[in-house]
Structure 1
Amino acid sequence: MLPINVFLTIDTEHSIGGAFADPALKPVGNDKRIYGRIGGRDYGIPLQMEIAERFGLKLVFFVEVFNRHFFGADETRRVVESILRRGHDVQLHLHPNYLNFTLARPQDLTCSDLCADYPLARQTELLAEAREMLIDCGAPSPTAFRAGCFGADEATLKALAVNGFLLDSSYNQAFLGGPCRLPDWGLNDLAERDGFFELPVTNFIEQTGLRPRRPMPLDINGVSFEEMRRVLAAARDGAGPRNVTVILHSFSFLKAYDVQYRRARPRREVIRRFEKLCRFLGENAGDFSVRTLDGLTRNDLAEMARDRCDTFPPMPPHLSLARFGGQLLDRL
């Protein structure tokens, strides 16, 4: 049997930093939200790349570009260049709330942060603009997209197809009915729909007995390494998706105590968790193939989606309960 495809995806984005609520504040840029700089050390994407490279792995960075409306072009250009220089993948991410900075009063929040709040024609325009912005920053023509807050709908997929994209990765079962406005297709694996491809963020079913069963995404900040390993083992054994997508953020390794990141610390447990995941994938390369999205053709994606398995692996309660304890310690 072919190895399971694994995608380690990083939403790479800045922060509004409370600027909409308080005009005296400014958005938080590269130093804190992208590079994660604390005390002269980087705990953001430079560390994420270093850990992945230690085990021979490549990462997929979904890079947000509309921050240009506040920061200008060079902020994201430096980020894209640093990623490509190290051989990782750059694809498109979008938070349309930065459009508010083009208005006289950004605090009026005229522009929604969810792509799904815009009609098809406007989404098509926004995605065309964002695509050109990313290319202008030095990235190859992107073929994949993830909406900020997973806030896509079916119009988003149509707008992406018009703009030459092959794949969306906004579908997240845990966010359906909230910011993710895509229909509940029950997806947990790469799927082709009308010639377009959807790569969902992988979910499992949490069942602790303390609250109703619910889907949980493979977010490096939200689940334990043991839970991720359990999902990967299920996929390898034919009881889970053939294409597993893990999500983290450029700032996942930081714990900020204020919206401006004036006081922050490294989340060392999350860093160790990512190291464990990368080591596991590196040591089990015969079972798991960590891949990027650049260079994949429509035929490649169709073949990868052919034997899809939309099963949501159930998680033994003791693993989720152990995670609760770790999250409590992190908050303290």
Structure 2
Amino acid sequence: MPKPNVFITIDTEHSIGGAFADPALKPVGNDKRIYGRINGQEYGIPLIMDIADRYGIPLTFFVEVLNKYYFGEEETREVCEYILGRGHDVQLHLHPNFLNFKDSDTAARQYRDNMSAYDLDAQKALITEGKELLTRYCGRAPTAFRAGNYGADANTLKALKSNGIFMDSSYNAAFPKHSRRLHAEALNDAAEIDGVWELPITNFTENIPLRGERLKPLDLNGVSLAEMKAVIHQALDDRGPRNLTLILHSFSFLKARDVQYRECSVRKYVIERFEGLCRTLAELGDRVRCRSFSDLAAEGMEPVGEGAAQVFPRISAGLSVLRGIEQQYGEVSAR
């Protein structure tokens, strides 16, 4: 039985910072949204890498590049060089809402944020531009893509293929309104779609009394360490996906009290959760393969078998209830 692959991915992006609603406000850049600098400390990607490095875990950073229309190119070039300099992976992420800063009237919001809002030709052009930018910043072309808001559709995969990008990680079954535009069937493991490999965000099924069943993605800010460990162990027992893709954001360790990030507090419980995840993966040793997307070549992907991509691990109600208590306590302590 092949070992499960584990991909820890970080969406690395700036914020509009309320500028569309109030032109007096400005987008929030590297300092708070990516490096997470508050009170003389860094709680963004430097701390994420510090923790992962302690346990030898490779990370993939999906870096947004269309912010150049407000920040210019040096802001993101610096981020890419920093990530690569520390030995981690950089892949392509797009939030087309930054295109609105091409015009003087940003409040008109001529450009939408989801890739699915654009036709095939427009998506090809957006991905071409993003690929060219990231290639300049990194000295190599990206091999994988993630759409902002998981807002991709079937045309996104066609646009990626035409740009020579053969891996995507935009599908998240917990967001069916978006993801079913990409693929009609529920996906939870690697699947080849029209010549592009889709590696979806991993979900599990929770069933809390009175609430019923729902899917929960392995987003570090929304699920507990116990739930993540349960999903990993089901994969080890061949009862879960063979490719586990987890997500966090460059700002996951911070709780912003306003859209401008003027006041932030630290989500210590999320930091502890991430440390626990990395420690767990290190303790599993060679039972799992912790990988970055740059480790993969599209032609080297392994099919998971018919029907296997639709497997969703089930988590006990007790774990989910405990997570809710942990989450509520953690948010209160971060205020």
TM-score when scaled to structure 1?
Answer: 0.97
Letter in 1 for 2:225: F
Contact 2:202–2:217 (8 Å) recurs in 1? yes
Matched, 1:2 2:2: yes
Contact 1:204–1:313 (8 Å) recurs in 2? yes
Deviation at 1:251, TM superposition (A): 0.3
* Compared CA separation, residues 181 and 223, structure 1 to 2 (3 A): same
Deviation at 1:78, TM superposition (A): 0.6
Matched, 1:70 2:70: yes
Structure 1 residue aligned with 2:219:
219
Structure 2 residue aligned with 1:234:
234
Deviation at 1:181, TM superposition (A): 2.9
Query: What is the CA–CA distance in structure 2 between the aligned matches of 1:258 and 1:210, rounded to whole Å?
Result: 33
Query: What is the CA–CA distance in structure 2 between the aligned matches of 1:45 and 1:306, rounded to whole Å?
Result: 36
Letter in 1 for 2:234: A
Letter in 2 for 1:125: A
Letter in 2 for 1:42: E
1:80-159 map, 5 Å? 80-159=80-159
* Compared CA separation, residues 287 and 310, structure 1 to 2 (3 A): farther
| Identical amino acids, percent of aligned pairs | 54
Which structure 1 residue ranges, 5 or more long, are not aligned? none
Contact 1:90–1:139 (8 Å) recurs in 2? no
Letter in 1 for 2:22: D
Structure 2 residue aligned with 1:37:
37
Query: What is the CA–CA distance in structure 2 between the aligned matches of 1:207 and 1:139, rounded to whole Å?
Result: 46
Deviation at 1:179, TM superposition (A): 7.1
Contact 2:3–2:289 (8 Å) recurs in 1? yes
Query: What is the CA–CA distance in structure 2 between the aligned matches of 1:85 and 1:34, rounded to whole Å?
Result: 16
Query: What is the CA–CA distance in structure 1 between the aligned matches of 2:132 and 2:180, rounded to whole Å?
Result: 25
Structure 2 residue aligned with 1:330:
330
Query: What is the CA–CA distance in structure 2 between the aligned matches of 1:179 and 1:97, rounded to whole Å?
Result: 19
Query: What is the CA–CA distance in structure 2 between the aligned matches of 1:175 and 1:100, rounded to whole Å?
Result: 25
Letter in 2 for 1:240: G
Query: What is the CA–CA distance in structure 1 between the aligned matches of 2:210 and 2:267, rounded to whole Å?
Result: 27
* Compared CA separation, residues 275 and 304, structure 1 to 2 (3 A): farther
Structure 2 residue aligned with 1:203:
203
Deviation at 1:10, TM superposition (A): 0.3
Deviation at 1:178, TM superposition (A): 4.4
SS of match in other structure, 1:265: strand
Letter in 2 for 1:245: T
Structure 2 residue aligned with 1:256:
256
C-alpha distance after superposition, 1:248-287 (max 9, x if no partner): 0000000100000000011100000000000000110221
Query: What is the CA–CA distance in structure 2 between the aligned matches of 1:50 and 1:156, rounded to whole Å?
Result: 34
Structure 2 residue aligned with 1:14:
14
* Compared CA separation, residues 49 and 275, structure 1 to 2 (3 A): same
* Compared CA separation, residues 180 and 12, structure 1 to 2 (3 A): farther
SS of match in other structure, 1:286: helix
Deviation at 1:313, TM superposition (A): 0.7
SS of match in other structure, 1:184: coil
* Compared CA separation, residues 110 and 179, structure 1 to 2 (3 A): farther
Query: What is the CA–CA distance in structure 1 between the aligned matches of 2:312 and 2:171, rounded to whole Å?
Result: 14
* Compared CA separation, residues 179 and 234, structure 1 to 2 (3 A): closer
Comparing 178-187 with 257-266, greater Cα deviation is found at: 178-187
Query: What is the CA–CA distance in structure 2 between the aligned matches of 1:199 and 1:93, rounded to whole Å?
Result: 15
Comparing 320-329 with 163-172, greater Cα deviation is found at: 320-329
* Compared CA separation, residues 27 and 217, structure 1 to 2 (3 A): same
SS of match in other structure, 1:60: strand
Contact 1:172–1:180 (8 Å) recurs in 2? no
Contact 1:114–1:179 (8 Å) recurs in 2? no
Comparing 303-312 with 83-92, greater Cα deviation is found at: 303-312
Structure 2 residue aligned with 1:243:
243
Structure 2 residue aligned with 1:293:
293
* Compared CA separation, residues 160 and 183, structure 1 to 2 (3 A): same
C-alpha distance after superposition, 1:100-121 (max 9, x if no partner): 0001201111100000000000
* Compared CA separation, residues 292 and 267, structure 1 to 2 (3 A): same
Contact 1:10–1:60 (8 Å) recurs in 2? yes
Query: How large is the Cα RMSD of the aligned pairs?
Result: 1.3
Query: What is the CA–CA distance in structure 1 between the aligned matches of 2:246 and 2:30, rounded to whole Å?
Result: 23
SS of match in other structure, 1:213: strand
Deviation at 1:196, TM superposition (A): 1.2
Query: What is the CA–CA distance in structure 2 between the aligned matches of 1:180 and 1:194, rounded to whole Å?
Result: 15
Letter in 2 for 1:99: L
Query: What is the CA–CA distance in structure 2 between the aligned matches of 1:323 and 1:148, rounded to whole Å?
Result: 26
Query: What is the CA–CA distance in structure 2 between the aligned matches of 1:65 and 1:265, rounded to whole Å?
Result: 27
